[in-house]
Structure 1
Amino acid sequence: MKQWWRRWTYEVPLAIGDALWEVLVVQLAALLDRLTVRKVIAFIPVAIIVLAYYHRIPIPPELILVGDFLAYIDIFSVLILLGVLSRVATILFVVKQAAARIVTFAGSVAAHAQRLDLRHRRERGASTRPRREPGRSEDDRPYGGIWDHVAIA
């Protein structure tokens, strides 16, 4: 009797607790590790179909449409991807054209700014060539003007 009591009050509850731990913690964690968003999305139409055939709960047609959409998510995702890629190509084309126009505009602005000479360092009436010094007389020249044609270092 003592052995029976020990078994049903100690060993059986421990075995049940170990089994619950295995199922609810260990195996559930392993399932969640393998679970992906795609698997969850693929399971939603199955749940909707089960609810639809369970006649006690009426299901609106919108929910059935969502289920169909999720069932064909691969086809829709390819179509959406193709649409996005075509838009990306269009956007890249427009950006390239805009960049080319900006470069052309910047070049023309730079050329125009150089022609305008925005610095205004000289007066309008000032000459642009340096002035020559008046010629010296023979008396003012060193060595009497003999060495004019030879450069003195």
Structure 2
Amino acid sequence: MKQWWRRWTYEVPLAIGDALWEVLVVQLAALLDRLTVRKVIAFIPVVILVLAYYHRIPIPPELVLIGDFLAYIDIFSVLILLGVLSRVTTILFVVKQAAARIATFVGNVAAHLPRLDIRHRRQRGAATRPHRAPDRSDDDRAPHGAWAQAAFA
């Protein structure tokens, strides 16, 4: 009798407590670790369908439509993703064209720079060549010019 009493008052409640701990704490924590927002959203239509077939609670059509939308969320997300990717591809194409045009422009400017001869400028303090005086004629060598000599003679 003592064994029976010990078993039903001590071991069975401990076994039930251990089983409850395993289910309500350990397995629930593991489930919550694996639970994602996508899984929650995918489960909402199931809840709506269960409520819809439970005839005692009337469900408005808007709620059923939301349930259908959530059921097809994968299809909508793929369509939205394709739309975004097509825009990204277009933007990348425009950026590539702009980069090619800029590279062409820079190449053209670099090709025209040697023609401007910017590289061989004189320094500011450099001495210049002396200018050669033009040849003077006999008339120019006279002190006041040829007309002045004729006037005084």
Under TM normalisation by the shorter chain, which class is it?
A: 0.5 to 0.7
Q: State the identity as a percent.
A: 89
User: TM-score normalised to the size of structure 2?
Assistant: 0.61
Match status 1:28 vs 2:19: no
For residues 27-80 of structure 1, what are the alpha-carbon distances to aligned partners after superposition, in whole Å with 9 as ceiling and x for unaligned?
334434554544332211112333445567665655443322110122212212
CA RMSD of aligned residues (A): 3.2
TM-score, structure 1 normalization: 0.61
Distance 1:120 1:47, change over 3 A: same
Distance 1:66 1:113, change over 3 A: farther
User: Partners in 1 of 2:48 and 2:109 — Cα distance?
Assistant: 64
Return the index of the structure with the highest Cα Rg.
2
Question: Kindly tell me: are residues 50 and 111 of structure 1, through their superposed partners in 2, closer, same or farther at Cα, counting changes over 3 Å?
Answer: same
Count of residues in correspondence between the two structures: 125
* Partners of 1:119 and 1:46 in 2: CA distance: 78
Could you tell me how far apart the structure 2 residues matched to 1:39 and 1:58 are? 26
- The one-letter code of the counterpart of 2:65 is L
Using the alignment, how far apart are the partners of 1:64 and 1:32 within structure 2?
Answer: 27
Query: 1:110 is matched with which residue?
Result: 110
Higher helix share: 2
Hey, what does 1:68 align to over in structure 2? 68
| CA–CA separation in structure 2 for the residues paired with 1:62 and 1:111 | 68
Separation in 2, partners of 1:61, 1:121: 83
Unaligned runs of 5+ in 1: 128-153
Give 1:118 shift: 4.2
Q: How does 1:19-98 map to 2 (within 5 A)?
A: 19-32=19-32, 34-53=34-53, 62-98=62-98
